[in-house]
Amino acid sequence: MNELDFIQSFRALAPHPAARGLVDDAAVLEVGDETLVLTHDAMVEGRHWLPSQDMADVAWKLVATNLSDLAAKGAEPLGVLLGHTLGDGDERFVAGLRAALTAFNCPLLGGDTVSAGDGARTLGLTAIGRATHTPVPSRSTAQPGDTLFLTGPVGAAMMGFEALRDDTGEASTAFRCPAPLLAEGQALAPLVSAMMDVSDGLLLDSWRMATASGLTLVIASDDVPIDAPEDRRADALRWGDDYQLLFTAPLSAKLPVPAVPVGTVEEGEVPLILDGLPITGREGLGYTH
């Protein structure tokens, strides 16, 4: 069973409106007069980080990737719960966790620790946020006639990973220590029709937004800003880990943050049209488990 089928099998178990049909990247829970945003991401050694990496950077990235999901909802972080597998570098992990939580003004609220013996380590984090605007943006509410925007270039994380893997001495910060766009997400939340973060590749995440919205996103690859060599453009659009915000809004909207138009939203049954070619399936568009 692949990732998509596995998630599909859970939908009958998630009838609560907060789950948003499991098509979004966070749950949105109404509690009294507050709207909470909850998300959970996991990272696996050898897949999400290299065994040689500083565990302080791993801790930072674990926090940042979860807070990026809150950013896509325009949410303010309230705290996190940590699931940690004990192993080498735990002191450095604590140092990195402290640095990230301090930087993003987000306290640790609790969690659990386990031991995995000689197996690959798995780390998990649940982030809890408070919505700063309602309705909370979703990936499923794009509107025909809107423009598709991206807050910045993609490809930097790919280049950073390769620099780290190959020990070239080139900059690897974009891969090791990404920055969630929390302020940008909060500023955009009142203006967008749909929004999500780019974690698994621009094309795959665009396909997900289009599928959730039941519309077609039309993208010209040359319009997408990249932070990679031009001959790596196709890779940069598929690699992921850049955590830019992808959103739809009218072209005439006065956006409060820098953003680049990279496509349009149209009626249609094909989720994605890339450089004039219809894309019906998500294979080869980005990272999947």
Q: Structure pTM?
A: 0.94
Among 194, 167, 197, which residue's Cα sits nearest to residue 182? 197
The Cα-based distances of 275 to 58, 184, 220 in angstroms read 36, 29, 5
Position 133, amino acid: H
Contact 240, 199 (CB under 8 A): yes
Question: Given a cut of 90, is residue 220 above it in pLDDT?
Answer: yes
Boundary residue ending a domain (67, 97, 131) = 131
- Number of domains forming the structure of the chain: 2
What would the mean pLDDT of 89-96 be, rounded to a whole number?
97
pLDDT tens track for 117-144: 777 889 999 999 999 999 999 999 999 9
Question: Given a cut of 60, is residue 279 above it in pLDDT?
Answer: yes
The Cα-based distances of 6 to 2, 3, 174, 217 in angstroms read 6, 5, 30, 25
Domain that holds residue 263: 147-279
Question: Residue 127 sits in a domain of what CATH number?
Answer: 3.30.1330.10
pLDDT tens track for 94-108: 999 999 999 999 999
Q: Residue 289's pLDDT is what?
A: 55
Task: Indicate if 170 and 264 belong to the same structural domain.
Answer: yes
Question: Given a cut of 90, is residue 223 above it in pLDDT?
Answer: yes
Domain for residue 185, yes or no? yes
Q: What percent of the chain has pLDDT over 90?
A: 83
Task: Indicate if 151 and 76 belong to the same structural domain.
Answer: no
Task: Indicate if 56 and 106 belong to the same structural domain.
Answer: yes
Inter-axis angle of helices 90-103 and 55-71, nearest 10:
30
Between 75 and 117, name the one with better pLDDT: 75
What would the mean pLDDT of 251-262 be, rounded to a whole number?
96
Task: Indicate if 157 and 194 belong to the same structural domain.
Answer: yes
Q: Residue 117's pLDDT is what?
A: 74
